[in-house]
Amino acid sequence: MQKSLHIDANKCTGCLQCEMACSYENYGVFNPSRSRIKVFNFEHEGRKVPYTCTQCADAWCMNACPVDAIRIDAATGAKVVNEATCVGCKVCTIACPFGTINYVAETGKVQKCDLCGGEPACAAACPTGAITYVDADWTGFDKMRVWAAKTDTAPRAAA
């Protein structure tokens, strides 16, 4: 059974523990700017929303990479950046419609969520359960996939 991150924005308090855990897991430092998950602050709505790579089934980032540096991890299904192969061209960052792949100037490579090898640090660190790692079917992933695959054949009304 494939698993995925499930984010319940209603439970997020904006504590940034997910960002801290992610940066520590991947870089050994507590530095939110190095995190692969970000908590967006929507001030007017009074909400905080964690956001990271959704591990798209038809990953645009992976398909766009000219050097084949993004591969599927067989164990987790995550689309993972192979830093040794990445040339830092940033084509994947342009291809990602969600903006969840980031260029890291210090390394000259890109970074994105890799689900921490199947034990996401962000989910483990979240004190409110706003981020959980659950069976993909539970998140409604298959329903979203079916909806996304539908084509709109009805003509649109002129505005």
- Residue 76: name the closest of 120, 36, 124 by CA: 120
Token readout for 108 is 């000259």
Residue 138 has pLDDT above 60, yes or no: no
pLDDT recorded at residue 2: 80
Interatomic CA distance for residues 64 and 55, integer angstroms: 15
Residue 75's CATH number: 3.30.70.20
Token readout for 40 is 């967006």
Residues 45 and 119 in one domain: yes
Q: What number is the average pLDDT over the span 113-132? A: 97
Interatomic CA distance for residues 34 and 128, integer angstroms: 22
Residues 22 and 98 in one domain: no
Q: What number is the average pLDDT over the span 104-128? A: 96
Would residue 12 count as lying in a domain? yes
pLDDT digits (tens, 9 = 90+) for 27-79: 999 999 999 999 999 988 889 999 999 998 889 999 999 999 999 999 999 99
